[in-house]
Amino acid sequence: MAVKKTRILIAKPGLDGHDRGAKFIARALRDEGYEVIYTGIRQTPEAIVQTAIQEDVDFVGLSLLSGAHNELFPRVVDLLAASGAGDIVVFGGGIIPEQDIPFLKDRGVAAIFGPGTTTKQIVEFLESARDSS
Amino acid sequence: MPEEIRKQKEEWERGTVEPLISRHPERMQTFVTGSDKPVNRLYLPEGYSEAEYLEKLGFPGQYPYTRGVQPTMYRGRLWTMRQYAGFGTAEESNRRYRYLLEQGQTGLSVAFDLPTQIGFDSDDPRAEGEVGKVGVAIDTLNDVEILFDAIPLDKISTSMTINAPAAILLAMYIAVAEKQGVGKQRLRGTIQNDILKEYVARGTYIFPPEPSMRLITDVFAYCSREVPLWNTISISGYHIREAGSDASQEVAFTLANGIEYVRAAIQVGLDVDEFAGRLSFFFNAHNDLLEEVAKFRAARRIWARIMKERFQATDPKSMMLRFHTQTGGSTLTAQQPDNNIVRVAIQALAAVLGGTQSLHTNSREEALALPAEESVRLALRTQQILAYEAGVTSTVDPLAGSYYLEALTDRIELEVWQYIDRIEALGGMIPSILKGYVQKQIQESAFRTQKDIEKGERVVVGINKFQMEEKKPLDLLRVDPAVRQLQIEKLSRVKARRNASRVQSALEQLRKGAKQIDVNLLPLILEAVREYATLGEICQLLREEFGEHRETIVL
C-alpha cells in the first residue's frame, strides 16, 4: 500500500499582507515532496481550521508578521482540538520575539521559526514530528 | 569606446589579466549585483558624445532629471529626515512624534495599525490581536486630534502610510488642521494612496480595482483645487522590493503603476499638468550601493520620458520623479542585530547619492520587533552623519560619470522598458495584476534569492557566514495588549457624545454619492468625519457599495 504523502497547510492568520515567507515555504516544501496547500492572506482562525480539516492535513504552518501571534496562534490550536483534530501539528513563523516562544509552545504550538530559518531546518522538524506521532 | 582605449584594454586583458588569473583565479567565476545581474571586471569610458550626454544625463533640475530634480540638490536644502513611526494609542504615538521632532527630525511619518489600514474599527472582531501593533489605532477624528496634539500642522509636513482608506485619513487630517486654524491650502504632506501595489505586494486592499481607482482620482481632483501642496499619492516600489523583486522590477512595476494612475486621471477628465506635479514616489534602498544609486537615476530618467512623450505633459513639475526612500527591511537580520546599523548606513548612503527627497532609516532590531526609542535615535543620527559629515551633500549627483554607474543606469533602464512593454501588451497594470503576472515575477525573484542564500551562493553576514553564538536579546519594545480595550472604551465614549442623527445623515449622503460615478467623494467623507463617523462605518458603507477585492493566489 502506498504511504500517504504528508499534507501541510500553510496559512496566514491576522491582517498582515507579508506573504513572502509563507509563499517561499509553501513552494520549498512542495519541492521537497510534500503536498502543500496555501490559504492566501487574512484568514480567520476559524477558516484556517475548517480548511485544515477539509484538506485532511497533518500540519498547519502559520505565518504572521504583525505581532498578533499570541492571540491568534493559540486560537488555531484550541479550535483544532475543539473540532476533534488535535492530532494536527501546528507550527509557526514570522516576526516573533524570543520571549514569546515559551508561551506559544505552552499553548500547543510545536515549533516557531524566525527570520534566517532554512528549508532544511523545517524539513527536519516535519520529519521528526511525523516520526514521533 | 575610443579606439586606442579599446586596443589597450585588449592588450591589458591578454598580457596582464589572463596570466595573473591562470595563477591566481578570481574569488568567483562570475560576479553579480544584489539583483543577480552580471558585473564586469572593469568599466571603461563608453565615450558619450555631447549629444548623448545631453540626452541621457543633462543638468540637475532639467529634463530628463537623471542627475536630480533640483538644480542645487542638497547644497540648497537637505532631504527631509522622516522616520516612520506609530504604535499603540494616539496618545503614545503623539509622544513618540514629539520626541523625534525634539531630536531634529524634520517631518512626520505616520504608521497605522492593520485594522485602520483595512477599514475595521478597534471593536471589530477581525481586529483581535492587531490593535495598535504595527502602527497607531485610529477609529474616529478624535484619535487624529490626539495624534497631532501640540504639533503645528502649518509648520510640519506629514506623510501617512494609508492606502485603501486614504481619502478618509486625509479628510481627518484636514479636519484636525481646521481645528488648529490651519487652512487646507497650507497643508503639506503625503498620503500613500497607492492601491495597485497593495494587490501585488503589501496586502491592505479593501475594494476591487475600479472603485479603488475612483477614490484615488477623486483625491487627485479634490487636492488639485483645495489642497494644492499635498502629495496625493506615493507610488511605491518599496513593498514590491520587500516582497522579493529585484531592483529593475521594483522600478518597472512602480512606474507601470504610475502609468495606470495617470491614465485613470486623464480618463476622468483631469488635465495632466493639473495633477501630475503632485505625484510622488517611494523606493527601497538595499545593500548593493552602486546598483541602488543607478536605480534611482534610471527611475528619474524613465519617468520624465513617460510623462513627456506618452502623456504630453508640458509642466516640468509633471516630469520630475520626486521620491521618498526607506532602507530595506528585508535585508535586516535577526542574528547579530547590530550588523544592521552598518547595513542601514550603506543603504542610506545609496539613497542620498541617488538624490532622494526624504529618507527613513530602519532601526537595528526591526527583524525582531518595533524599534525602541534609542535605536530610532541611532537610525536618525545615521542620516545626520551623512548629511553633515560625509561630504556627499556638497556637490550634485557626485557619482555621475563613473563608468560602472552609468553602465548600471543604462542596463536598469533597458530592463525597465522591457517590463513596461510587456505589461502594456497584457493590457496595462490592472489586467497584469488580475492575471497574476506581476506577482509571479516578484515571487520568482524572491524564491531564487532565498535559495541562493540557503545554498550559500549569496552571502549574508551572520546568516550563512560568520555566524556566532549570541548573548540574548536586546530589550524589545512591546505593545501593551490592553491597547485594544482602551481604544474600544475611547470609541464608545465618542459614539455616546456625537450627534447620531447628523452622523446618519452624513453617511446617507456619502452612500448616495458612492452610487453616482461622477460625484467626488472627498467633500462627503469630510462631512462624515467631522461628525465623528468612524473609519469602520465609512469603510463598511463603501464595502456595501463597491464590493471587496479577492486575492489572485499565485504560487
Strands across the sheet containing A7-11: A35-38, A7-11, A59-64, A89-94, A111-113
C-alpha cell at B382: 545615521
List of chain A residues whose C-beta atoms are within 8 Å of the C-beta of residue B479:
67
Residue A133 has pLDDT above 70, yes or no: no
Q: Complex ipTM, two decimals?
A: 0.94
CA–CA min distance A66, chain B (Å): 6
Is residue A23 included in any domain, yes or no?
yes
Q: Is A70 an interface residue toward B (CB < 8 Å)? A: yes
Q: Is B203 an interface residue toward A (CB < 8 Å)? A: yes
Stretch B465-484: mean pLDDT: 84
Is residue A1 included in any domain, yes or no?
no
User: Across-strand partners of B235?
Assistant: B281
Stretch B348-365: mean pLDDT: 97
Facing B203 at nearest CB: one of A16, A26, A71: A16
Residue predicted with more confidence, B472 or B149: B149
Residue range A90-129, pLDDT digits in tens: 999 999 988 999 999 999 999 999 999 999 999 999 999 9
Residue range B413-452, pLDDT digits in tens: 999 999 999 999 999 999 999 999 999 999 999 999 999 9
| A43: containing domain | 7-132
CATH architecture of B50-455: Alpha-Beta Barrel (3.20)
Taking an 8 Å cut-off on Cβ atoms, the answer to whether A98 and B473 are in contact is yes
Host H or E run for residue B358: strand B358-360
Confidence of residue B480 (pLDDT cuts 50, 70, 90): confident
Host H or E run for residue A62: strand A59-64
Facing B128 at nearest CB: one of A17, A23, A71: A71
Is residue A11 included in any domain, yes or no?
yes
Is residue A66 included in any domain, yes or no?
yes
Report the length, in residues, of chain A: 133
Stretch B47-65: mean pLDDT: 93
DSSP per residue, B199-213:
IIII----S-HHHHH
Is residue A2 included in any domain, yes or no?
no
Q: Is A17 an interface residue toward B (CB < 8 Å)? A: yes
Residue A4, pLDDT score: 74
C-alpha span between B198 and B331 (Å, rounded): 21
Stretch B296-313: mean pLDDT: 98
Residue B194, pLDDT score: 98
List of chain A residues whose C-beta atoms are within 8 Å of the C-beta of residue B450:
24, 28
Residue range B378-395, pLDDT digits in tens: 999 999 999 999 999 999
Confidence of residue B369 (pLDDT cuts 50, 70, 90): confident
DSSP per residue, B370-428:
SPPHHHHHHHHHHHHHHHHTSSTTSSSSTTTT-HHHHHHHHHHHHHHHHHHHHHHHTTS
Residue A131, pLDDT score: 84
Provide the CATH number for the domain around residue A106: 3.40.50.280
List of chain A residues whose C-beta atoms are within 8 Å of the C-beta of residue B472:
98
Residue B538 has pLDDT above 60, yes or no: yes
B-chain residue closest to A73, CA distance: B129
Is residue A106 included in any domain, yes or no?
yes
Residue B539, pLDDT score: 98
Residue A3, pLDDT score: 64
Ranges of each domain in chain B = 3-32, 50-455
Taking an 8 Å cut-off on Cβ atoms, the answer to whether B130 and A98 are in contact is no
Which of the residue ranges A21-35, B62-76, B339-353, B473-487 would you say has the lowest mean pLDDT? B473-487
Contact call for residues B369 and B476 (beta carbons, < 8 A) = yes
Q: How many CB pairs under 8 A join A and B?
A: 99
Residue A36 has pLDDT above 60, yes or no: yes
Confidence of residue A81 (pLDDT cuts 50, 70, 90): very high
Residue range B192-216, pLDDT digits in tens: 999 999 999 999 999 999 999 999 9
Contact call for residues B60 and B67 (beta carbons, < 8 A) = yes
Confidence of residue A1 (pLDDT cuts 50, 70, 90): very low
pLDDT averaged over every residue in chain B: 96
Is residue A48 included in any domain, yes or no?
yes
Stretch B401-423: mean pLDDT: 97
> Mapping DSSP to helix (H, G, I), strand (E, B) and coil, where does residue A13 land?
strand
Q: Is B454 an interface residue toward A (CB < 8 Å)? A: yes
Confidence of residue B471 (pLDDT cuts 50, 70, 90): confident
Residue A32 has pLDDT above 50, yes or no: yes
Task: Select the residue from A23, A51, A124 to test the B interface by mutation, using most B Cβ atoms within 10 A.
Answer: A23
Task: Select the residue from A12, A16, A25, A107 to test the B interface by mutation, using most B Cβ atoms within 10 A.
Answer: A16
C-alpha span between B450 and A24 (Å, rounded): 8
Residue B481 has pLDDT above 90, yes or no: no
List of chain B residues whose C-beta atoms are within 8 Å of the C-beta of residue A67:
129-130, 133-134, 369-370, 479
C-alpha span between A104 and A102 (Å, rounded): 5
Is residue A110 included in any domain, yes or no?
yes
C-alpha cell at B313: 505633459
Residue B404 has pLDDT above 90, yes or no: yes
Host H or E run for residue A7: strand A7-11
Among residues B105, B161, B113, B106, which one has the least CA distance to residue B138? Answer: B113
Residue range B278-288, pLDDT digits in tens: 999 999 999 99
Burial class of residue B156 (count of CB atoms within 10 Å of its CB; 0-12, 13-18, 19+): middle
Print burial letters for B41-74: b (CB count within 10 Å at least 16), e (below 16).
eeeeeeeeeeeeeeebbbebbbbbbbbbbbeebb
Contact call for residues A69 and A102 (beta carbons, < 8 A) = no
Which of the residue ranges A1-5, B59-63, B248-252 would you say has the lowest mean pLDDT? A1-5
List of chain B residues whose C-beta atoms are within 8 Å of the C-beta of residue A38:
553, 555
Report the length, in residues, of chain B: 555
Q: Is A97 an interface residue toward B (CB < 8 Å)? A: yes
Host H or E run for residue B542: helix B535-546
Residue B49, pLDDT score: 87
Give the number of domains in chain A.
1
Q: State the distance between the two ends of chain A, measured CA to CA, in whole angstroms.
A: 20
Residue B419, pLDDT score: 98
Residue A88 has pLDDT above 70, yes or no: yes
C-alpha span between B161 and B554 (Å, rounded): 26
Residue B48, pLDDT score: 80
> Mapping DSSP to helix (H, G, I), strand (E, B) and coil, where does residue B463 land?
coil
Residue range B81-124, pLDDT digits in tens: 999 998 899 999 999 999 989 988 888 999 999 999 999 999 99
